[in-house]
Amino acid sequence: MKKILLQITMLVATLFFSVAGLSASDNSGKVINLTKGEFLKLVYDYENNPESLEYLGDKPAIIDFYADWCRPCKQVAPILEELAKEYKGQIYIYKVNTDNERELAQAFGITSIPTLIFIPQTGAPQVSQGALPKDILKSTIETVLLGK
């Protein structure tokens, strides 16, 4: 009985640590919600490197600063979900809830939502405010993020 209990405990622990250790690459094809801590690890560690905002990702990214109550944010959300699937393996699409992550929003000067930040692998990020239609978002992904 103790042996079975130990095996079950080990299985649960393995599953827990597997799920807890998921990285952005495991979520490719999905919009990824970020906390400040995750942002610092996956996007920019602006606390330790405030002078140099060096992108930490291995693929271009879009960061959507949003709030649950924001009507234009709700219009953009399903489009971003579609684009995450369409560009699976090519880009990351991140979301940051400005109500939950006020310090992060303030650090990046987010004064209007939705604000989208397009981060290419190399070159300067580009910022867009407001709800953009899918065709504009696709065009921006193609030109700014993928360089096509």
H-only helix segments in the chain: 2-20, 36-42, 71-86, 102-107, 134-140
Q: Which two tokens stand for residue 110?
A: 């987010």
Which long-range contacts link 5-14 to residues 24+ away (Cβ below 8 Å)? none
d(Cα 44, Cα 68) in Å, to the nearest integer?
Answer: 24
DSSP 3-state of 127: strand
Task: Please list the active-site residues.
Answer: 70, 73
Query: Strand pairing partners for 118?
Result: 62, 126
Cα–Cα distance, 102 to 90 (Å, whole number): 29
Three-class DSSP category at 81: helix
